[in-house]
Structure 1
């Protein structure tokens, strides 16, 4: 059991890179070890931990395997299947976070390749783009929104309302591109359907705990909600707690510390301080550009030291998830799961034009709304 828990930490190259970066920053940035725990946004970590538990519970129940395999037989063409998977992963990302939505849908997509001939790599690329478009809608759709929501003081519905125009336009645009990127050629199935048993008791337990956790978040009782979720799975299904990739939480904790060390650098502070007085266009461009370089989650963490958690920042860092591979951690997760070396450069054929379109449309919408 201990080996299973430690294995993700040993294999997570991104976590190792963050640790090395932190060690280098400790050598050049002024800091005190006692200040490092307070550099971590614990509300974000607690929310992520709860959502990861709930998602793993739903995954282990077998619910998505059963529903997916039954529904996919109803699609006659490659285009219909691709549109369904893109819509499904976008919808899941609005309440399960973009990362965990991919952990559910991408393995299902890879399984479908065994049943019929589909351009699986291209579908996974669109799934990665879809979670960036879908997850920006709600405050629990992705880590940067969790952070912005916690700092903004807005209610769940108010935060969702401010993100709705951008989410609708980007998702509609993605569906149009998806329509033209896949053919109407009929699907030819090559294997018989297999039985996929599921566990109704676990799925109902997960759904009830999910509602409890959402209510706790809304009432600013995140830690109590996490305790209830953990205790529920400890009693009902311990394998949920041991099956989680806990290294993902470590990644975000180290990110917070690395950004804290970065902010401590006098040179960087001098460079970013003028953003507090910058124009809306300059701030928007800076947030999108910084997301391309260091990913939108650490970019959000960094920029919140200089600008308020308002709609402009929320739109900009979510748009920054498109474009280059580091723009969003979800991009890395999806492409790594695909297991195709060529997918890494093919991804940018779609993501870079999407970034340009999202930035132009997003800033235009912001000005008129």
Structure 2
């Protein structure tokens, strides 16, 4: 960081981050303004910002979001989310914490097979309707679910984009992730539920009258358009299959989502304009701006310098290095998106593993995955799913502020990262 552009990029990013935290200016305006400044100071350029896979806008994320938002928009018209809301509340006997626990577990399991963003896009509408039925604030439920999605996605190769990058670099299989990360993810999910029970205890107000009303409802009556529902679920099933079969089909999730959205509009009676109205355009614009700002840090070498400093700190001590890798990755992934961080850190981690003698148990890779995935829960912009949920909440007129999310996120991240550190030390060093 010897040139002025590197320092300018840092100033722009820190200033934008401070404004997002303060919430004095809308986060979309801040992100787009910050992106413009990165281009103005030449921390990045148009080719890098719009066409670079390493440091540009991640169009796969943007178009995945757009495609899934369109599919969800069509499904909303069928009444299926109302059906699921009534069904889940009845199964939990309208007890708020049992409802939250059910939704959290569903979200975590779905995130192990789907990407986190797709999962929260499908679960959030159900959650909003559940909270409306029970006259409960939606924010605690949405926050708990997005954290469950980030934790659940850690368990598998396809659950979180950083895992795919790590698997490619380290030559790891789907089963490797299950064997090494699924056990700790199960523990972390239980810990999340216990922490939520304490953090949101004032939310769990049981209303006997509302509970009685809901228990008398017939969920089947909520379905307004059975034909459209069948079409929507059939397309959604194809899209999910496309996600799961990515290693075989080699279609990017964004391509699968767009094909699904186009097919559903073509075969159904849904109006294109109405479907497009359901897309969270401000959220997509925020992502684009955020990617350009982070790209400025990558292009000027700021992210690389941080990664190399971390590598120098680790040295060749595998035990201390793994602990440092996990903790530092959690901190950094709470500030910058974990996808560019892992993309930058992966080759450095590969060198560290080779210097340590090959790392037969891949412990350094597991430390990187756990830190990057769990650290995303720390702040409101630490993971893509967090930003999407904030956008959905704002559109539903139940906004979640940066600090409202982050004050809970820091607690959950602290607990889960501490447990992950204990797991890595116990499994790979104390007992290994």
TM-score (norm 1): 0.78
- For 1:77-156, list aligned pairs within 5 A: 77-149=95-167, 151-156=169-174
- For 1:26-41, list aligned pairs within 5 A: 26-29=39-42, 33-40=46-53
Instruction: Specify every segment of 5 or more residues in structure 1 that has no aligned partner in the other structure, as ranges.
Output: 1-11
- For 1:251-270, list aligned pairs within 5 A: 251-252=286-287, 254-265=289-300, 269-270=304-305
**Contact (CA 8 Å) 1:116, 1:187: kept in 2 or not?**
no
Structure 1 residue 329, shift from structure 2 partner: 3.6
- Cα distance in 1 for partners of 2:35, 2:407 equals 32
Q: Quick check: 308-317 or 177-186, which moved more?
A: 177-186
Counterpart in the other structure of 2:422: 364
Counterpart in the other structure of 2:327: 285
Rate the CA distance shift 1:54–1:138 in 2: closer, same or farther, 3 A: farther
Counterpart in the other structure of 2:19: none
Q: 3-state DSSP class of the match of 1:122?
A: helix
Q: Which protein is bigger by CA-based radius of gyration? A: 2
Superposed CA deviations along residues 3-47 of structure 1, whole A, max 9, x for unmatched, are: xxxxxxxxx954543333233233445656444455226997447
**Contact (CA 8 Å) 2:112, 2:152: kept in 1 or not?**
yes
Superposed CA deviations along residues 211-264 of structure 1, whole A, max 9, x for unmatched, are: 144324444343875675465335324749734446655655554443332123
Superposed CA deviations along residues 141-176 of structure 1, whole A, max 9, x for unmatched, are: 344445545555544443444431331121011122
- Cα distance in 2 for partners of 1:135, 1:230 equals 24
- Cα distance in 2 for partners of 1:87, 1:348 equals 21
Rate the CA distance shift 1:85–1:59 in 2: closer, same or farther, 3 A: farther
Counterpart in the other structure of 2:263: 232
Q: 3-state DSSP class of the match of 1:175?
A: helix
Q: 3-state DSSP class of the match of 1:325?
A: coil
Instruction: Specify every segment of 5 or more residues in structure 2 that has no aligned partner in the other structure, as ranges.
Output: 1-24, 315-320, 351-363
**Contact (CA 8 Å) 1:51, 1:96: kept in 2 or not?**
no
Superposed CA deviations along residues 192-221 of structure 1, whole A, max 9, x for unmatched, are: 746232411221232124314432444434
Rate the CA distance shift 1:36–1:299 in 2: closer, same or farther, 3 A: same
Counterpart in the other structure of 2:234: 204
Is 2:323 aligned against 1:323? no
**Contact (CA 8 Å) 2:297, 2:303: kept in 1 or not?**
yes
Is 2:366 aligned against 1:311? yes
CA RMSD of aligned residues (A): 3.8
- Cα distance in 2 for partners of 1:346, 1:320 equals 17
Superposed CA deviations along residues 333-361 of structure 1, whole A, max 9, x for unmatched, are: 33454444676544445322222111211
TM-score (norm 2): 0.68
Counterpart in the other structure of 2:92: 75
